[in-house]
Amino acid sequence: MAAAFNLPVAPFCVGEVDPNLIRYGPPELADLGSGYVFASQVVDNVLELAWSHVGAVGVTTRRDLVVFDYWVHNQDRTLTELGGNPNLLWEPTGKDLIVIDHNQAFDDTFDNTTFFQTHVFAQSWNDVYQDFFDRPRYEHRMRVALERFEDVCDRMPESWLIVDDGVPGGLQPDHARAMLMEFSQDNFWDQR
């Protein structure tokens, strides 16, 4: 979804961790588990985004990311002057941002207040709210990304949808789609 929304994500694919790697590998890999995994390509010469670099990130990128994370209910991109976990990589030479880690998307415990207090680019939300042209542009991008949603869900490994013995996992495509459709409600776009 992030790629379909045109966020600057690291190249990625679905990988597979062999059970023997877990069984016979170093103990610190045991928590990884075996089976299908989401794998991002290593990006050289990057740092975790620091609070001191936030202002160097382009205005459009900041807006894009706060809108996307709010849309998918991803509350796991936190950074304030006190620290946090932005799940963003910064390439200082080219001043490029790389978006990683969306494993908290579609969170049922998502809290608007917490999101807008802790999201690294929360201050950019009201810029979107105040820009008459931004809302229709973002709504269009959301519709384009939603066109890919069914295909993305169909290509996901089934093991990602099941916890154990047929018990549904954290991501339920129908529930996620309903969550994504919230952008069509006026209150989605309210000032914060």
Q: Residue 107 is encoded by which pair of tokens? A: 């969170």
- The confidence score (pLDDT) of residue 164 equals 62
The whole-number average pLDDT for the span 136-159 is 90
Q: Is the pLDDT of residue 155 over 90?
A: no
Q: Are strands 83-85 and 35-40 parallel, antiparallel or unpaired?
A: unpaired
Reduced to 3 states (helix: H, G, I; strand: E, B; else coil), residue 93 is: coil
Q: Cα–Cα distance between 164 and 147 in angstroms, integer? A: 30
Identify the band that residue 167 occupies on the pLDDT scale cut at 50, 70 and 90. low
Strands of 88-91's sheet, edge to edge? Answer: 47-48, 88-91, 96-99
Q: Cα–Cα distance between 110 and 90 in angstroms, integer? A: 26
- The per-residue pLDDT for range 55-107, each reduced to its tens digit, is 999 999 999 999 999 999 999 999 999 999 999 999 999 999 999 988 889 99
Q: Cα–Cα distance between 53 and 88 in angstroms, integer? A: 11
**Residue 79 and residue 54 in contact, taking contact as beta carbons nearer than 8 Å:** yes
The neighbouring-strand residues paired with 16 are 36
**Residue 71 and residue 105 in contact, taking contact as beta carbons nearer than 8 Å:** no
Q: Is the pLDDT of residue 9 over 60?
A: yes
pTM exceeding 0.85: yes
- The per-residue pLDDT for range 96-130, each reduced to its tens digit, is 999 998 888 999 899 999 999 999 999 999 999 88
Q: Cα–Cα distance between 114 and 111 in angstroms, integer? A: 5
- The per-residue pLDDT for range 14-26, each reduced to its tens digit, is 889 999 999 999 9
